[in-house]
Amino acid sequence: MDEIIEHPDQGARNEEKEIVIISGSSGLVGFPLIEKLAKNYRVVGLDRLGPPYPPLQAECVNFDITDEKAIDAAMERIRYGYGSKIASVIHLAAFYSFNTKESPGYEEINIKGTRKFLSQLQDFEVDQFIYASSNLIYKPTEPGKKIHEDCPVEANWGYPESKIQTEDLIRENNKDIDTVFLRIAGIYDEHCHSIPISQQIKRIYEKELVSHFYSGELDHGNVFVHLDDVLNAILKTVDRRKDLPGEIPINIGEPSSPTYQDLQDVIGKHIHGEEWETYEMPKSIAKAGAWTQNLMGDPFIKPWMIDRADDHYELDISRAKKVLDWEPSHRVLDTIPEMIQNLKRDPKKWYKENDLDYGG
C-alpha cells in the first residue's frame, strides 16, 4: 500500500478555505462546478447519487431533499465536519420534466424540498444563498423586446410555476441570509445536453415528417446559455458575494435569442447540407397530431406544448454585466455545428448522452 504524505501546510490551507455547499452536486451543472470551486473553497456536495468527482475535490453527503430526516442528517454531518459557518449555498437540486404539464415532483422537490432545506440552514451562519431559477418564470415577450429582472412573471406550466413559488418562499424564509436568484436560460454544451435542442436535432437527423412543421411562429424562440458560461456566472456570484445587495435577481443568458427558424436552418445545413424547409402549422391540426402520436407511443411533443409554441424570450443581461462583470462567451448557433459533429462521430453515444432512443 502506497504511503500518502501530506505537505505540512496542506491541512492548514484547507482549514483556511471557506465552505461552499452545492445541492444537486452530481448533475449537469453541479458536477463541473465542484472542480472549479474546489480551487479556492472547501466544497461539500449534497445529492442522492454517489460522487462522480474525486473525493479530494469535495465530500459528497447523501441528501434526499424530500426527506426531512435525511436533510437533518446531512446538515449534522456538515456541522460536525466543517462547522456552522458557510460562505455560500448553491441550490441546484430540482425536478424538471417535459413529459407532463404538471407533476407531483414540482411540489415535493422544488417547493416543499426547498422549504425543508431552508429550515435547516437557519441554524447555520450562511453568508449567501444562490437559487438556480429559470428565465421561464417571466411573461413571454415579443421579438426585439428584452426581459429585465423587474418584468412581470407568468407561469403557464408546472415547472416555472414551481420556480416562482420557490422564489417567494425563499424571500419569506431567508431574512438573515443574502440571496441571489440566478434566472438561468436553457443550458447546452458541445454534446448538446439540451432537451429541446436534442429533440429538434433528432427529428431532422432522422428526417421525420414532423421536422418540417412547427405549431408556433417561426420568428419566435427561446434564450440559451452555454454550460461553461453558467459555471462562470456562479463562480463570480460566489466570489463577489460581499459586494452584492441582500437580495437580487440576475438574468443569465445570451444577449440574443435564436428563432425556431434559425435553429432549423443551422441544424439542417450541418446535418444534411441543405436548407430545411419548415412550415407553420395551425394549432388545431398540431394538437390533433400530437394527441394521435401520444396514443401510439410516447413522443416528445405533447398536446399541452402546442399552446406554448409561440412563447418568446429575450433576456436583458445588463445587470449581470454590471454587478458580476459577466457576459457569455459562447453562442448557441455557433455551437450547434460542433454538436452535429459529435453526433455524426458517434451517433449511439450522442443519443445515450441526451437520453434519446437510438434506432441505429
Task: Look up residue 353 and give its amino acid.
Answer: E
pLDDT at residue 58, rounded to an integer: 83
DSSP string computed for 80-115: HHH-SEEEEEEE------SS-SS-HHIIIIIIIIHH
pLDDT at residue 82, rounded to an integer: 94
Average pLDDT over residues 214-239: 95
Weakest-pLDDT range from 259-273, 281-295, 308-322: 281-295
In the chain, how many H helices and how many E strands? 13, 11
Element at 227 (helix H, strand E): helix 227-239
* 243-257 per-residue burial string, b: 16 or more CB within 10 A, e: under 16: ebeeeebbbbbbbeb
pLDDT at residue 303, rounded to an integer: 57
- Share of residues in the chain with pLDDT > 70 (%): 86
305 near 237, Cβ under 8 Å? no
pLDDT at residue 297, rounded to an integer: 41
CA-based nearest residue to 87, from 43, 127, 125, 37: 127
Tell me the pLDDT tens digit for each residue of 328-360: 999 999 999 999 999 999 999 999 999 999 876
Instruction: Give the 3-state secondary structure of residue 340.
Output: helix
Average pLDDT over residues 266-289: 78
Is residue 171's pLDDT more than 80?
yes
Distances (CA, A) of 46 to 74, 206, 216, 246: 8, 39, 40, 25
C-alpha cell at 326: 459577466
CA distance 234 to 129: 11
- Share of residues in the chain with pLDDT > 90 (%): 71
pLDDT at residue 310, rounded to an integer: 82
pLDDT at residue 281, rounded to an integer: 72
* 195-222 per-residue burial string, b: 16 or more CB within 10 A, e: under 16: bbbbbbbbbbbeeeeebbbbbbbeebbb
First and final C-alpha spacing in the chain = 46
Is residue 49's pLDDT more than 80?
no
Weakest-pLDDT range from 27-41, 86-100, 227-241: 86-100
pLDDT at residue 55, rounded to an integer: 56
Is residue 46's pLDDT more than 90?
yes
Average pLDDT over residues 95-121: 88
pLDDT at residue 306, rounded to an integer: 66
Q: Which fold has domain 14-189+224-255+313-330?
A: Rossmann fold (3.40.50)
Tell me the pTM. Answer: 0.90
Round the average pLDDT of the chain to a whole number and report it.
88
Is residue 20's pLDDT more than 80?
yes
Environment class of 223 (CB within 10 Å of its CB; exposed 0-12, middle 13-18, buried 19+)? buried
Which residues share a beta bridge with 90? 22, 130
Is residue 295's pLDDT more than 50?
no
Distances (CA, A) of 103 to 63, 108, 135, 149, 218: 21, 9, 20, 27, 29
Environment class of 102 (CB within 10 Å of its CB; exposed 0-12, middle 13-18, buried 19+)? middle
pLDDT-derived band of residue 327, with 50, 70 and 90 as boundaries?
very high
Weakest-pLDDT range from 23-32, 41-50, 246-255, 324-333: 41-50
Tell me the pLDDT tens digit for each residue of 255-265: 999 999 999 99
Average pLDDT over residues 287-316: 62
pLDDT at residue 12, rounded to an integer: 41
Instruction: Give the 3-state secondary structure of residue 250.
Output: strand
pLDDT at residue 248, rounded to an integer: 98
CA distance 63 to 47: 5
pLDDT at residue 53, rounded to an integer: 56
131 near 180, Cβ under 8 Å? yes
pLDDT at residue 95, rounded to an integer: 87
Tell me the pLDDT tens digit for each residue of 186-223: 999 999 999 999 999 999 999 998 899 888 889 999 99
Tell me the pLDDT tens digit for each residue of 137-167: 999 999 999 999 999 999 888 999 999 999 9
φ, ψ for residue 319, nearest 5 deg: -65, -40
